[in-house]
């Protein structure tokens, strides 16, 4: 009997990408929580799988040669799972390149920029006393995220999904559209908004998004526990 894939995970947009993919592809998996607010991403056991100290990571006990295979970086994981399952990642070269373009757009653009927007808008106000110090970051990243939402909106004007059929590119992008946290008004992006709803109605997306929901804490909250978690997460302690 095939052993389940180990998903080293915490419920964040990058983690959701993989839990959604595993649900969509029907691949059995077991969750290995990596509490990033408690610093578990710095543990030697996890860093042996993910040298960058970032989740998610997976371990497939049944790798291509029958031996276990560990993978870090969410984009690489999505490509691997798509190829392994034969679903949501085309075998045709032209179609696959179309998916890869938008997958890399997410991992190299939307994810980092939206993540910085979220940081300056949600977390920094609880970390920095002088709010003038964060104003530039708020404006810089909110504006860039707005531009990226516009790119995606234009792409979706004449199609249901970003790269033809529903694919790992949609799974990668969808968790990072967080307009409330990123200062965006979806009324400005009607095609993106329709896609966001369309993808969000998929049962596997809902199931993947719900994995570990009870573990989430508000890092923008007040109190010592939240402050300690922010220090760990944003590198404010030696390690």
Residue 16 lies in a domain: yes
pLDDT bin (cut points 50, 70, 90) of residue 68 is very high
Residue 45: predicted pLDDT? 95
CATH number (domain holding residue 76) = 3.40.30.10
SS3 29: strand
In this predicted structure, the answer to whether residue 208 has a pLDDT above a threshold of 80 is yes
The rounded mean pLDDT for the chain is 89
> What is the rounded distance in angstroms from the CA atom of residue 119 to the CA atom of residue 70?
29
The pLDDT tens digits of the residues spanning 91-110 come to: 999 999 999 999 999 999 99
CATH number (domain holding residue 120) = 1.20.1050.10
Which residues are CB-neighbours of 82 under 8 A, at least 6 positions away?
Answer: 21, 25, 88, 89, 167, 168
Residue 238 lies in a domain: no
Comparing 199 with 114, the larger pLDDT belongs to 199
Which pair of tokens denotes residue 128?
Answer: 């920095």
Residue 134 lies in a domain: yes
> Strand ranges (DSSP E) for 79-161?
none
Query: 15 lies in which domain range?
Result: 5-88+209-233
Asked whether residue 116 falls in the same domain as residue 196, the answer is yes
């Amino acid at each position: 009997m095939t052993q389940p894939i180990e998903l080293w995970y915490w419920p964040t947009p990058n983690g959701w990408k993989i839990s959604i993919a595993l649900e969509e592809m029907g691949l059995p998996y077991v969750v290995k929580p990596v509490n990033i607010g408690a610093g578990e991403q710095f543990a030697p056991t996890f860093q042996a799988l993910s040298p960058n100290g970032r989740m998610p990571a997976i371990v497939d006990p049944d790798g291509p040669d029958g031996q276990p295979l560990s993978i870090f970086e969410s984009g690489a994981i999505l490509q691997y799972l798509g190829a392994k399952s034969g679903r949501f990642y085309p075998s045709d070269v032209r179609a696959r390149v179309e998916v890869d373009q938008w997958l890399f757009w997410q991992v190299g653009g939307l994810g980092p920029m939206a993540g910085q927007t979220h940081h300056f808008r949600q977390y920094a106000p609880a970390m920095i006393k002088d709010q003038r110090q964060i104003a530039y970051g708020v404006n810089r990243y909110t504006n860039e995220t707005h531009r990226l939402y516009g790119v995606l909106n234009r792409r979706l004007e004449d199609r249901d999904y970003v790269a033809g059929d529903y694919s790992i590119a949609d799974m990668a992008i969808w968790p990072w559209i967080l307009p409330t946290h990123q200062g965006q008004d979806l009324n400005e992006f009607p095609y993106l908004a329709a896609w966001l709803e369309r993808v969000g109605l998929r049962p596997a997306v809902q199931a993947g998004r719900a994995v570990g929901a009870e573990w989430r804490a508000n890092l923008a909250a007040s109190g010592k526990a939240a402050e300690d978690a922010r220090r760990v997460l944003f590198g404010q302690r030696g390690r």
